[in-house]
Structure 1
Amino acid sequence: MISNPRFRHTGTALAHPLSRSAWRDAFAMRPADAIFTTAIKVGIAATLVLIAGGLLGQPQLAGMAALGALTSAFGRYQPYRRLGRMMAIVGAGMVIAMVIGTLLGAANVPMMSQILVLSVLAGLAAHIFLAFRISGPGAVILVFAAGAGSGYTHSYAAMLGPIVAIIIGVVVGWLAAMAPVLWVPLAPSRLAVARAIANVVGLEADDAGPLRAAAKASLRSARESVTVTAGTFRATHSRSVSLRQNADQLHLLLDEAEAALTLFESSSDGAYSEAFIHLVQHESQLRKIHGIPTVSAPITPDVPAIASTRNLVHKGFWEGAKAELTARTSIHQALRMAAAAALSGWAAVGLGLEHPLWATMGAIAALQGLSYATTVQRSIQRLVGNVIGAIVAVGILSLALGFWPSVVLVIIFQVMAELLVLKNYTLTTIAVTPMALIMTGLGTNLGTEAALSRVVDTLVGVVIGTIVAAVSISLSDRQHIPTSTDGSKR
């Protein structure tokens, strides 16, 4: 019998992928709102670069530019001031990844060494993205870009094309994502406040401890979003003055939501009901494109000691990242991702698989979740999604479509992936798999066997990624352990 706590915890983790709860959670559909905005931005950016590349007679480079345009998929729902910085970091990472990939290809570096370099790249990218709280497709996109550059480039003279292509894609993606700031600069903050209000009102139906914590966290997050956005409007012209006033109204709405939450926690006679009714009305108005509900003060003045977050000091974008860059948990996450990525790629090479970097990307995608439960969930979702997506891809690739029909399909699948990513990652992967295969085959004759190869490579990646995650699991990571009837972890 194993008595060592570390071995016991690892054993429990290794058993979790076979549990009914792991598979049930993998196919659960999550609620999602405001899903169209990012999908439209990504679709516009991809359309522009793919059409431009096609008209210039550069189908393969068009695909690389489309990868750069995926910069627009990062930083979803962030205030524009912060979003621009986040996407600049991602864009720089994309360009660096392409430079590294083309250098590896031009120098004819052996695949085993390429896998090592790109695994280190993935770990560093994941570390930086986590430190700057950059959500989105993650480090896997950078490895995809580097792999595409390596496969395309066979001489130093050929390096310039892919690098220029991805720079163009990054710029187009950045502009597409930032363009709405000209019309609706407060949109991300409005949504953050609406979500915070929804979480507070939702406590009336279920006030479980985790939901209370989530409601308070969403209030803090919304307050930070409004504060960051308001800091942008410093000019004295009428539009800036009006936007500052709107930001002040959003702060008042958050005051009202916090007052209602405090009343909810301090009363047992339903005295909070009127406050919640007002909040529901505010949420509905906030989810419209224009118009912010007007309030002068919280409607619950008798609440004892409202714990307002208005005066909390929020760390700046760079200041907040500095602490995270040296955080032990973030470094641990980066190291195990790099290890899993390298081991998966090397295993795929040892098995004689044609596209070992796909195994590397499978491990990276699985380990982008911070908890082991999320890693297992994403592994299941990526594998099942790849199987179904590969079946779809076989049908498409067997038609031997030309460039323009392929472009249409890439755009459709890309938009679908962005629409589905917040609902369920399995559905996203079903869309991403044919999209990635079609994009890889732009300007080349990619056969249907590539779809089968992707499934096998992904299986190698997620299995090894899950094993590495289980072996390196933190003793404090217990989300995957079933909860006993008394609410404690067994």
Structure 2
Amino acid sequence: MPDSPTSTRDRSRLKHSRRALAHSVSPAAWRSTLEFRRADPTVAIAVRVGLAGAIVLVAGGLLGRTEIAGFAALGSLAAAFLRYEPYPRLARKLAGVAGLIVAYTAFGAALGVAGAPVWTQVVLVSAGAGIAYWLTLVFGITGPGPVVMIFAAAGAAGFADTWADAASAAGAAALGGLVGWAVAMAPALSHPHSPSRVAVARALAAVSATEQQGDQAVAAARALITRARETIALTPQRRVDEHVHELIALLDAAENALCGRESGLSRQDDFARLEAELRKVRSDIRTPRTPDTPLPVSASSPDYLRAAMDKALWFSASRMAVASLIAGMSAVAVGLDHPLWAILGTIATLQGVNYGHAVQRGIQRLLGNTAGALLAAAVIFADLGYWPLVVIVVACQTAAELTVTRNYALASTFVTAMALLVTSIGHPAGTGIAAARVGDTLVGVVVGVLVAALTIRPDDRHHLTAPEPTEKSAD
């Protein structure tokens, strides 16, 4: 008797999930964690994020409020979100990010004050992880993701015993968020064209790459050209100058190159040179342009309502919430001391753009957390005092931003060390906190990879090194 189409699809999906799980323990998956990618300019951004953290930590020390300085540092991490977003949009979105960090800090503090049982905390924080992830998807909030919000909630839940504690933690996060917003927006005064320059550089790189990658890269190049035009269109009118017209001329040349028309620029050589120049913090580039090149009159506004109704985003957020719940409950069941931290490992894993990327992030998170926990344990054991801790935390924060777009394992090392040291500032802990972090991360990553494999899309085959054989239906 022939199998029904449904049973055939089920078998095919199960086989796909099995192959996905096999990939997670394959040598190729673990080798990929050592890859260092080329990245856009990060030094200036890393310095700004480190500066924001330094400001609030120094202020906390001078005011004698070291117990809440860590929450201010978490609020200042708003500066790490939304790299290269046009400044008019950055101002609005970054305020929303800072507000979310404050809201989750207050949420976690309320759980602590209420004396909520650990099982209740896991359920509510897992739901919060799904909501935070959904919001980042709907509003296009790039950067560390909901990990910062959930870590703030977990830290506040362990810190707050009274409503005064809750108010102090939330207030510190709010002040930190304000500092992070101000520091991130400051370059709008001195380098207003930086987001446009980077967007154009990405477009030129994509167009140049089509010579090696062929037609399959053309669509991506066109999308980046469109994104760059929208970024330029958001330039405030008072900031429109000759350099803006030069950037538009470069995009015109890139579009002409895609269409096979002469543009006065050699795609491979000139585009590579101009891309490198655009990635520098300079404004002296000179390129061929038509004097009357028109400016785009407007940029399309994101359709947030349509995104909010997208079933795929609801599925991703629900998957995040369920996986977080499983990870947290598993951590409680095996007796780990900080089960809410297991949720962080799951979030980091499931933020991958596809299954292969999710596995890579999970492995990198585990390796980085282990190295970072050892580093933090050594510092905690040395008992250096508040001010040396501030220097180390700021250094780790800056190093994390320098490496996050190049290798997530290395960045996660610095992030973990920073997180554990910030936690030790507000709530003194022994070196055992490092082992707890590794155990929780292991649970979170394993759950994240399992859930990702079981919910893998049928067309997601980026992790496969060879074409998957087709399933033949039974006669």
2:339 aligned with 1:356 = yes
Deviation at 1:38, TM superposition (A): 1.3
1:478 deviates by 2.4
TM-aligned CA distance change 1:6 to 1:275, over 3 Å: closer
Question: After the TM superposition, which residues 71-82 of structure 1 pair with which residues of structure 2 at under 5 Å, given as runs?
Answer: 71-82=78-89
Counterpart CA distance in 1 for 2:341 and 2:118 is: 12
Residues 89-488 of structure 1 correspond to what in structure 2 (within 5 A)?
89-204=96-211, 206-229=212-235, 232-233=236-237, 240=238, 243-263=240-260, 274-288=266-280, 289-297=282-290, 314-317=299-302, 320-484=303-467
| Comparing 363-372 and 275-284, the one that deviates more | 275-284
What amino acid sits opposite 1:398 in the alignment? F
**Measured at CA, do residues 222 and 392 of structure 1 come closer, stay the same or move farther in structure 2, by a change above 3 Å?**
same
TM-score by length of 2: 0.91
In 2, Cα distance between equivalents of 1:477 and 1:53: 47
Alignment-derived partner of residue 237 in structure 1: none
Normalization by structure 1: what TM-score?
Answer: 0.89
The answer (yes or no) to whether the contact 2:265–2:271 under 8 Å persists in 1 is no
- Structure 2: distance between partners of 1:473 and 1:439: 36
1:339–1:316 Cα change, 3 Å: same
Q: Which moved more, 1:284-293 or 1:190-199?
A: 284-293
Which residue of structure 2 aligns with residue 56 of structure 1?
63
Q: Look up the equivalent residue of 1:36 and give its one-letter code.
A: V
Deviations 1:291-334 (A, max 9, x none): 24243349xxxxxxxxxx997985314xx222211112111110
C-alpha distance in 2, partners of 1:131/1:37?
28
The one-letter amino acid of 1:132's match is F
> 8 Å contact 2:230–2:300 — kept in the other structure?
no
Kept in 2, the 8 Å contact 1:282–1:293? The answer is no
In 1, the alpha carbon distance for the partners of 2:266 and 2:448 equals 50
Post-superposition offset of 1:470? 1.4
1:399 Cα deviation after fit: 0.5
In the TM superposition, residue 47 of structure 1 has moved relative to its aligned partner by 0.5
Could you say which residue in structure 2 is the equivalent of 1:28? 35
Secondary structure in structure 2 of the residue aligned to 1:30: coil
CA contact (8 A) 1:252 1:297 kept: yes
After the TM superposition, which of the residue ranges 104-113 and 10-19 deviates more from structure 2?
Answer: 10-19
Shift of 1:258: 1.1
Between the aligned partners of 1:322 and 1:310, the Cα distance in structure 2 is 28
Offset of residue 50 of structure 1: 0.2
Aligned-pair distance for 1:485?
A: 11
Q: Is contact 1:256-1:297 (8 Å) kept?
A: no
Deviation at 1:133, TM superposition (A): 1.4
> For residue 121 of structure 1, what is the amino acid of its counterpart?
G
Note if contact 2:380-2:421 (Cα within 8 Å) is conserved in structure 1: yes
**What letter corresponds to residue 363 of structure 2 in structure 1?**
I
SS of residue in 2 equivalent to 1:57: coil
Amino acid at match of 1:475: P
Whole-angstrom CA distance in 1 between matches of 2:252 and 2:36? 32
Offset of 1:474 from its aligned partner? 2.2
Change (3 A) 1:395 1:210: farther
Q: Is the 8 A contact 2:159 2:427 kept in 1?
A: no
Cα gap change, 1:183 to 1:227, in 2 (>3 Å)? same
Matching residue's letter, 1:250: L
Task: Output the CA distance in 1 between the equivalents of 2:404 and 2:471.
Answer: 30
Q: Which moved more, 1:281-290 or 1:437-446?
A: 281-290
Relative to structure 1, is the Cα distance of residues 149 and 489 closer, same or farther in structure 2, using a 3 angstrom cutoff? farther
For residue 77 of structure 1, report the CA deviation from its aligned partner. Answer: 1.1
Q: Which amino acid aligns with 1:442?
A: I
Of 5, 9, 17 in structure 1, the residue corresponding to residue 16 of structure 2 is 9
The reply to whether residue 44 of structure 1 matches residue 29 of structure 2 is no
- What is the Cα deviation at residue 415 of structure 1? 0.3
Distance 2:305 2:426 in 1: 43
Q: Structure 1 unaligned runs (5+)?
A: 234-239, 299-308
State how many pairs are aligned: 463
> For residues 148-183 of structure 1, what are the alpha-carbon distances to aligned partners after superposition, in whole Å with 9 as ceiling and x for unaligned?
111111122322101110000000000000000011
Is the Cα contact below 8 Å between 1:391 and 1:451 reproduced in 2?
A: yes
- Per-residue displacement from partner, 1:69-95 (whole Å, max 9, x unpaired)? 000000011111111122112111111
Query: Does structure 2 conserve the Cα–Cα contact (< 8 Å) formed by 1:285 and 1:293?
Result: no
CA distance in 1, matches of 2:373, 2:466: 36
Looking at structure 1, the residues matched to 165 and 68 of structure 2 have their Cα atoms a distance apart, in angstroms, of 11
Q: CA deviation at 1:222?
A: 1.4
**Alpha carbons of structure 1 residues 17 and 284: separation in structure 2 relative to 1, 3 Å:** closer
Give the AA of the match of 1:247: V
Q: What is the Cα deviation at residue 203 of structure 1?
A: 3.4
What is the SS of the residue equivalent to 2:213?
coil
AA aligned to 2:254 is: A
